[in-house]
Every structure is written in structure tokens, then in C-alpha cells.
Structure 1
Amino acid sequence: MNAPNRHELFVLDDGEKGVEVIEDTKIPNAATFKIIKQDHTLGNMLRSQLLAMPSILFAGYKVPHPLEPYFILKIQTDGSITPTEALEQAGNALLKLISDLQAKFKAEFAYKDVEGVDGVAEDPYGALPSNMTTSAWGSSTRFYADYS
């Protein structure tokens, strides 16, 4: 097959930089970033986070070829911040979002070991034992996808 070894898709080589910055000379307050050893997962999250920022005029990404482990991210700002600062802020916001999501996920599934009514362990997915009509928290349903 023509596919590279799997570790080559995400492990940086010695001396290899993870991000290359190319300043755009034709468009004001714009830059192109080549993010090495990443794919659509990070590209789409960064694009979404950047577009949520009020100082961003344009943010888009593309993966030139599926066998090449990098994507190109283009950012244009209104001039209040540089594209590099915008990318850094978006990355930090994503790290915080993922950390919060991880904490909420762990907190919800920590209830797995809590015993329900009558000493019967409650199913972490919200299903109730046949002899119970409500859960230990007072409702018959659990919404684990509620991250608000």
C-alpha cells in the first residue's frame, strides 16, 4: 500500500516544527498556517472556535491530500489582533473546553459506583432495575449529554 506507517501520521520527527506560519502579503491581517501531523479533527475544531471570535473575518482549513498528515489553516482578522494571536487564543479556548468536558464526563460517571434505593446499584446509563420506579436522584431518566 501507499499509506505511510501509522506513527508517521501523528509523531513529530526530531527537529520538526508542528506549525509553520506563512504571512499573506496580498490580504491585510491574514496568515496561512500549516499544521503538521494533524487532520480534520483539529482543523474543524480550530475553525469553529476561530469563527466564534468577534475579531475574525475569515477562518477556513483544507486537507490537501488524505495521505499527507497536515492541514492548511487560513485566518484573517479585523486588525485588532494578529492571526497568530487569534490562533493561540482559539487553541487555549479549545483546551479549556475539552478540560471542562472531561471534568463533567468524569463527574457524571463517578455516580456509577453510587448505590441506589434498597442497596441496588444504579445503572450509569439511567436504566432502572425492575423493582424501582425512580432513580436515587429522584427522576426516572438521566441525561448524560446535558453539558450546560
Structure 2
Amino acid sequence: MNAPDRYERFVVPEGTKKVSYERDTKIINAASFTIEREEHTIGNILRMQLHRDPNVLFAGYKLPHPLQYKIIIRIHTTSQSSPMQAYNQSINDLDRELDHLKNAFEAEMLKFSRDY
């Protein structure tokens, strides 16, 4: 079969950065972030979180090719922020939101297990 090994889709090769940053030279306050070994799940969640930030003018992502296991996130911000600040803030906000979701789920599971 021509399909690549499944292991290749998820493990970042040694010497490769998980996230790389490239500033846009044509547009002020714009940049691209390449995230290795990720796909639509992370791209869409991160894009939606970036859209919640009032300083973000544009946030989008793309998969360059189905056989390349990376996404490219493009961010354009106002002059009050930078793409790096917006990216870091969205990652931190998502981390807190997912921690809250995990804790709420575990609390409900604990209540459910006590009832039975």
C-alpha cells in the first residue's frame, strides 16, 4: 500500500521544532506559525480561539497537503498586539478552558460513581 506509516503522522522527528514562526514581510503585524504533526482538530480550535481576541484581524489555517502532517496558521493583528502575543494568549486560554472542562467532567463522574 502507498500510505505512509501511521507512526509518521504523530511523532515529531528528532531535530524538528513542533512550532515554527515566520514573520510576514509584506504586512505589518502578520505572521505564520507552522505546527508539525497536527491537523484540522487543532487548527480549527486554535483559529476559533484567535477569533475571540478583539486584537486579531484575521486568523486562518491550512493543511498544505494531505500527506504533509502539518498545519500553517496565519494571524494578522492590530497595532495593540502582535501575532506572537495573540498565539500565546490563545494557547493559554485554550489550556485553561480544557482544564475547566476536564475538572467538570471528573466532578460529574465522581457524582455518578457515588450514586451507583
For this structure pair, what is the TM-score category when the shorter chain's length is used for normalisation? over 0.9
Whichever residue aligns with residue 4 of structure 2, its letter is P
SS at match of 2:110: helix
Question: Which is helix-richer, 1 or 2?
Answer: 2
Give me the CA root mean square deviation. Answer: 1.1
CA offsets 1:45-70 (integer angstroms, 9 cap, x no match): 11000000010000000112222110
- Deviation of residue 96 (structure 1)? 0.7
Distance 1:2 1:23 in 2: 36
Using the alignment, how far apart are the partners of 2:46 and 2:101 within structure 1?
A: 17
Q: Unaligned regions of 5+ residues in structure 1, if any?
A: 116-120, 122-148
2:44 alignment counterpart: 44
Q: For 1:5-48, what per-residue CA distance to the aligned partner results, in whole angstroms no more than 9, with x for missing partners?
A: 11211111111101111111111100011111100000001100
Q: Aligned-pair distance for 1:110?
A: 0.9
Letter in 1 for 2:101: L
User: Could you state the TM-score of these two structures normalised by the residue count of structure 1?
Assistant: 0.75
Structure 1 position 112, deviation (Å): 2.2
Identity %: 44
Q: What is the distance in 1 between the residues matched to 2:114 and 2:27?
A: 58
Q: 5+ residue gaps in structure 2?
A: none
Say which one has the larger Rg. Answer: 1
Structure with greater strand percent = 2
Q: Which has the higher contact order (CA 8 A, sep 6+)?
A: 2
Counterpart position of 2:112: 112
Instruction: Find the counterpart in structure 1 of residue 94 from structure 2.
Output: 94
Q: 1:20 & 1:2 partners in 2: Cα distance?
A: 29
Higher mean displacement: 90-99 or 4-13? 4-13
